[in-house]
Amino acid sequence: MYIYFFKNNILSLIIFFPILIGIILIINNNVKKSLILKINKFIYFFFILFYFFLFIIILKYYNFLFNNFQFVKYKKIFLYLKINYSLGINIISFIFIFLIFFLNFIIFIRYINKENNNFNFIGFILILSGLNTGIFCSKNLILFYIFLETSLIPMFIIIGKWGGNKKIISSLYFFLYNFISSLIIFIVIILLNNLNYNFELFNNFSLSFKKQKIIFILLIISFFIKSSIWPFHIWLTKSHVQAPLEGSLFLSSIMLKLGIYGIINFLFYLCPDALFYFKNLIIFFSLICIIHIGIIISNQNNIKKIIAYSSINHIGLSLLGISLLTKISIISCIIQIISHSFITCGLFIIINYIYIETKTYNLNKIFKIIKLNKLFSFFLFFFLLFNCGIPFSFGFISEFLIIFECIKYNIYLSFLSSTIIIWSTIYFLLLVNNLIFKKNKKKIKRMKNIKILNYFILLILFLIVLILGIYPNLFIKLLNLNIKNIFKKEIKTKIIKWNL
């Protein structure tokens, strides 16, 4: 009976339970009493256990061989406004929900041994987790927009309150850019309402080619801003540099991918013909992200900026995978998103420890201040290699497949896209030389002993990237089946040939 209840309401629970616990922690944290702090610790520990239980239920009952949305929940709320409480997840949504769960697990491990935890901060992280989960579970366009818009508030507060020295201006950059992006989606909602669209995603609604082009242009600008595609990339570098570690983890692993998720979930269904018509334009912007941003990286000396720019670099490669419009390139795009999330998590955690010891992100100063210990250097070295897409890493699979698909499309395109390997190698050598191999004759302090739980986090991330890189077949087969079935069922256009 209880399992039946959890199974039928699992998506609602995994969305609103973190939000509820987050609000409780924020309210309790304002009462400065030792008893309240102990209660907050207990609440947070209880949340993680229950959150883990909810994810296990999803994992148990999710049918990876089923080609449609699962755990579907539908309830009419405002008929006149066409707002329905419509939830459901497919394989892409499931992957992002797993990433959100994994980030919360990492944050919990980091905070488990701290005596003076800032539960105000943790509360906003939990609210952000719930709202982001709502984005990936929404099957109603207006509900999607509500979750998307409200998710800006906790991240704005996280950067603005707990960020670095320039946190106010960085939080404003983040909010204004993303608010404009959301405003464009709101304009699209108004246009679709005038066309009698019921706002339920993945139905048989179709638009004329002229209307598709209008909707496409608006949505692609919005999603470019969300994913920090050139020329809308300024907000990401400013936000990343000033954001606390947990904010950077959510920015790089989840919020940066919202644009790619939006393209797959909206443009493929609402504007398939326009997507094909404008695909060369998307290829152009993806190449700028790969080449132009790569050149910018080679001139940076701020380690957090380098990783932030490398994220844009890899998002450009994911966008290129989408624009090729083949089954293999779409699968490669999703693999690139996942691998990038795990790798940047590891890199940002490592960079955070370096900053704690040195109080600077400047490459030219760090090697003069501190010498990294061997185990820490090992993780830094290999995560940077993984970011370059070396063989036997998960990122290598996606980069190889996307470049391989480029060869089929255009040999010159494959050459230009493969320059991502050059840019990755440049900043790999830059970071490794300055942080690991560069020696300073003056006496410098050694890195303090890092708690074993922090090494445990890095080890988990390391093994995930390595194992998925060595044994990618099972994962690719699951994506192959689901992507094939989703597109075969939903996209009905004579222009796009999916080679199914």
pLDDT category at 490 given cuts 50, 70, 90 is: very low
Phi and psi torsions of 318, nearest 5°? -60, -45
Residue 158 clears pLDDT 80, i.e. is over it: yes
**Residue 329 burial (CB count, 10 A):** 22
230 φ/ψ angles, rounded to the nearest 5 degrees? -55, 135
Whether 239 contacts 166, CB under 8 Å = no
Residue 448 confidence class, pLDDT cut points 50, 70, 90: low
Element (H, E) at 91: helix 91-111
Q: Average pLDDT for residues 55-62, to the nearest whole number?
A: 85
Q: For residues 150 and 132, is the Cβ–Cβ distance under 8 A?
A: no
Map residue 163 onto helix, strand or coil.
Answer: coil
Tell me which of 138-147, 281-290, 388-397, 430-439 is least confident. 430-439
How many beta carbons lie within 10 A of that of residue 5, not counting itself?
Answer: 10
Q: What DSSP line would sit under 238-253, residue for residue?
A: HHHHHS-HHHHHHHHH
Q: What is the dihedral of CA 341, 129, 113, 461, to 10 degrees?
A: -20
pLDDT in tens, 352-407: 888 887 777 877 777 666 667 778 888 888 888 888 878 888 888 888 888 888 88
Task: Name residue 89's beta-bridge partners.
Answer: 70
What stretch of H or E contains 85? Answer: strand 83-89
> What integer is the mean pLDDT of 15-41?
78
pLDDT of amino acid 368:
61
195 φ/ψ angles, rounded to the nearest 5 degrees: -95, 15
The string of pLDDT tens digits covering residues 185-235 is 889 888 887 877 777 776 666 778 888 888 889 989 999 898 888 888 888
* CA-atom Rg of the chain in angstroms: 22
- State residue 131's pLDDT score: 92
Cβ burial 157-181 (10 Å sphere, 16+ → b, else e): bbbbebbeeebeebbbbbbebbeeb
pTM: 0.88
44: tokens are 């947070």
pLDDT given for residue 309 in this prediction: 85
Q: Rounded distance, CA 119 to CA 98, Å?
A: 23
CA angle 135, 22, 462 (to 5 degrees): 70
Name which of 332-346, 413-427, 430-444 the model is least confident about: 430-444
For residues 404 and 407, give the distance between their C-alpha atoms in angstroms, rounded to a whole number. 5
**Strand 70-78 to 445-446 pairing:** unpaired
Which range, of 242-246, 338-342, 473-477, averages the lowest pLDDT? 473-477
Residue matched to tokens 């326009």? 274
C-alpha 234/C-alpha 315 separation (Å) is 14
pLDDT-based confidence at residue 1 (cuts at 50, 70, 90): low
pLDDT at 30: 65
What is the structure's pLDDT at 74? 77
Give pLDDT tens digits for 299-349. 778 888 888 888 888 888 888 888 888 888 888 888 888 888 888 888 888
Peptide bond just before 231 cis, omega within 30 deg: yes
Q: Judge whether residue 464 has pLDDT over 70.
A: yes
At 246-259, the pLDDT tens digits run: 888 888 888 888 88
CB 238 within 8 A of CB 173: yes
Residue that wins the pLDDT comparison between 207 and 289:
289
Region 139-166: what's the mean pLDDT? 87
